[in-house]
Chain A
Amino acid sequence: MTTLSGIVLQFFELLLAVLVAPLLTGWVNVCRAWMQNRSAPPVLTPYRVLLKLFTKEPVLAYNASSLFRITPYILFGCMCLAAAIVPTLNINLPINAAADAIALVGVFALARVFMALAAMDIGTAFGTLGARREMMIGFLAEPALLIVLFTSSLISNTTSLSSIVGQMARMDLVIYPSLAFAGVAYTMVSLAENARIPVDNPATHLELTMIHEAMLLEYSGRHLALMEWAASLKLFTYSCMGIALFVPFGISDGDSWAGVLVALTALAFKLALGGSLLALIETMSAKMRIFRAPEFLGTAFILAVLAMLIHLLLETP
């Protein structure tokens, strides 16, 4: 299965993810500004921010340990790996054999653990606060996410993401109520995991409500750039995973580059739509108190469980 063209395609896909991810973030920001009647920043702003941060000199706290310094690289590596695992354009990815859906959740968990540890490294009030909250969101979101993935795996009898997506894409148009529920649950989990409103606000440094930003407070320069870039990649990966799981139509199957081109167009379209949807959700909802988050994610969890039950009940003989 591991052919040369497969490997080339894999690299192409990874490169695409790494390069396009900030664009998606920019697009969401633009949409949000439009919907909130503000004048929008240029869609390329995230790239400029990254460039600026890379050129700047990082300022490191006196008591930062080397764990703090390697974390941005590990985080970026994890997110690249995650982006490589999720089939975006083609389902015959060589790396797919290395990690299935459960392992993907594990990779995200690895990134989260490192990020939380780095946030605690400097020993500031906000850092520990962010770490604690992030880990809380993590343990609430992970069960829901895994049940969503389980539902998909039960439908297609595999946990390998490319097989799941392949089966979904090849299927006749059949209504799966379970997938509809799972899709909603997945969206809720993604909002929480990507530090979006209503769980967290990516655009605030308002002290008491921060989660994700609180963990980044001590980072600057290239380290911050990598952390931001990793966050964009995470959003991109989550969006692509949602697209691949619930609306995989158009993804290419064979090795042909024409199919990849079609898939690319479809992906661009779907991402643009998904991004504006995200902006819409963020515009329409208000940030919750931190201890409402368990309820929010609990709802996601119940939805995911219902999805699984409905699959077991309505969709199996």
Chain B
Amino acid sequence: MSSTQALLAPSLPSQLINLLAAVMLLIAFAMLAQRRVLTLINLFAVQGLILTASTLLVAWTTSQPHLYWSALITLVLKVLVLPLILHRLIRKLNVKWDVETLIKIPTTMIVGIVLVILSFNLALPISALSGTVARGTLGIAIAIVLLAFLMMITRSKAVPQVIGFLAMENGLFFAATSATYGMPMVVELGIALDVLIGMVILGVFFFQIRERFDSLDIRHLEKLKED
């Protein structure tokens, strides 16, 4: 008991980061279970907000000024711009249907839990290697990436898949900031740009897909293969 307390006691910020990490994980699970596109986008925005908060926290505790910029980019891009684009997109595409899942939700959830355990054990050697990396947060970051991947696998509609892609990036970013206290600014800017451009390209894709198949169900793409 005392050992647990001693470990946790260090500082309020690290406790807060743990809390935020836990909430990120929760949101990742919520996205996995969510059927509606609209809620999915909102969840994504909330995840971005948490990410911003955790980045700010890391910036403040480690006093690395460039992380403030990262936080700002995250806020603008992931909380405001991308959700707005997505909202507009689903309004324009008129996709108000429920997200259908390929695998049943309970099964997905169990797979998700297995993934969480897996990623924590994957994070174990990495954190042992570096020493500065918090094992728990890195594990959660990996878990968020894998869960987002899982979400992309289980969805059959294009918009949720894109959200899965974006959530995956969130996980990577969280790994970069909270677990390892930031990466070089150039890399971050590059990633941010990638995401934005990727989003624009996918947006164009959506319209193309819909024009071609009258639906956003990506299972239609299966027809494209040669027989």
B26 & A181 in contact (Cβ 8 Å cutoff):
yes
Residue numbers in B under 8 Å from A314 (CB-CB): 18, 21-22, 136-137, 140
In the complex, which range does the number of interface residues on chain A fall in? Answer: 20 to 34
B19 at the interface (CB under 8 A from A): yes
Chain A residues in 8 Å Cβ range of B15:
174-175
Q: Which of A167, A177, A295, A302 is in CB contact (< 8 Å) with B29?
A: A302
* A259-267, A283-291, A304-312 - the one binding chain B: A304-312
Is B25 at the interface (CB under 8 A from chain A)?
A: yes
B139, CB-defined interface residue at 8 Å: yes
Known: A181-B22, A310-B25. A317 touches B33 (CB 8 A): no
Query: Which residues of B15-51 have CB atoms within 8 Å of chain A's CB atoms?
Result: 15-16, 18-19, 21-23, 25-26, 29, 33
A174 to chain B: which residues have CB within 8 Å? Answer: 5, 8-9, 15
Minimum distance in angstroms from A144 CB to a CB of chain B: 13
Known: A156-B1, A313-B120. A177 touches B109 (CB 8 A): no
B16 touches A172 (CB 8 A): no
Whether a CB of chain B sits under 8 angstroms from the CB of A17 is no
For residue B137, which residues in chain A have a CB less than 8 angstroms away from its CB?
A: 314
Q: A181-B22, A310-B22 are in contact. Are A172 and B5 (CB under 8 A)?
A: yes
Give complex CA distance A306, B140 in Å.
11
Q: Judge whether A315 is part of the interface by a CB distance below 8 angstroms.
A: yes
CB of A194 within 8 Å of the partner chain: no
A172 to B11: give the CA distance in the assembly, Å.
Answer: 12
CB neighbours (8 Å) of B152 from chain A are none
Q: Which of A178, A299, A315 is close to B33, meaning CB atoms less than 8 Å apart?
A: A299
Please tell me if B106 contacts chain A, counting CB pairs below 8 Å. yes
Contact B109 A302 (CB under 8 A): yes
Q: Find out whether the CB atom of A315 lies under 8 angstroms from the CB atom of B120.
A: no
Confirm or deny: B117 has a beta carbon within 8 angstroms of a beta carbon on chain A. Answer: yes
A167 to B113, CA, bound (A): 29
Q: At the interface, yes or no: B132 with Cβ under 8 Å from chain A?
A: no
User: Is residue A98 contacting chain B, with contact meaning CB distance below 8 A?
Assistant: no
Of B1, B3, B25, the residue contacting A306 (CB under 8 A) is: B25
Please give, as numbers and ranges, the residues of chain A lying within 8 Å of B105 by CB-CB distance.
295, 298
Please determine whether B18 and A317 come into contact, CB atoms closer than 8 angstroms.
no
In the complex the two chains form, what is the Cα distance from A315 to B4 in whole Å?
A: 7
Expressed in whole angstroms, the minimum distance between the Cβ of B36 and any Cβ of chain A is: 14
Q: Bound state CA distance, A317 and B33, in angstroms? A: 31
For the complex, give the distance between the alpha carbons of A310 and B22 in Å. 7
Q: Tell which of B3, B19, B33 touches A175, judged by Cβ atoms closer than 8 Å.
A: B19
Within 8 A of A (CB), among B121-161: 135-137, 139-140
B19 to chain A, nearest CB (A): 5
- A317: chain B residues at CB < 8 Å are 3-4, 7
Counting CB contacts under 8 A, is A157 at the interface?
A: yes
* Closest Cβ neighbor of A310 among chain B residues: B22
Collect the chain B residues with CB atoms within 8 Å of residue A180's CB.
19, 22
Does B116 sit within 8 A of A, measured CB to CB?
Answer: yes
CB-CB under 8 A for A305 and B113, given A167-B1, A174-B9, A317-B7: yes
B-contact 0/1 string along A167-189, CB 8 Å cutoff: 10001101101101100000000
Q: Does A316 contact B (CB under 8 A)?
A: yes
- In chain A, positions 146-201 with a C-beta closer than 8 Å to chain B are 155-157, 167, 171-172, 174-175, 177-178, 180-181
**A316 and B137 alpha carbons, distance in the complex (Å):** 13
- Using Cβ atoms and an 8 Å threshold, which residues of chain A touch B140? 313-314
Set of chain A residues within 8 Å of B109, measured between Cβ atoms: 298, 302
Please, which residues of chain A bring their CB within 8 A of the CB of B16?
Answer: 175
Closest to B6 in A: A317
A87 to B: closest C-beta gap in Å:
18
Q: Are A313's CB and B4's CB within 8 A?
A: no
Can you offer 30 A-B residue contacts whose CB atoms are under 8 A? Answer: A155-B4, A156-B1, A157-B1, A171-B5, A174-B8, A174-B9, A175-B12, A177-B18, A177-B21, A295-B105, A298-B105, A298-B106, A299-B33, A302-B29, A302-B109, A303-B26, A305-B113, A306-B26, A309-B120, A310-B22, A310-B25, A313-B120, A313-B136, A313-B139, A313-B140, A314-B21, A314-B137, A315-B4, A316-B4, A317-B7
Known: A177-B21, A298-B109, A302-B33. 19 other contacts (CB 8 A): A174-B9, A181-B26, A298-B105, A302-B29, A302-B109, A306-B22, A306-B25, A306-B116, A309-B113, A309-B116, A313-B135, A314-B22, A314-B136, A314-B137, A314-B140, A315-B4, A315-B8, A316-B7, A317-B3
Residues of B participating in the A interface, judged by any CB pair closer than 8 Å: 1, 3-5, 7-9, 12, 15-16, 18-19, 21-23, 25-26, 29, 33, 105-106, 109, 113, 116-117, 120, 135-137, 139-140
What are the 4 A-B residue pairs with the smallest beta carbon separation, nearest first? A177-B22, A314-B136, A175-B15, A177-B19
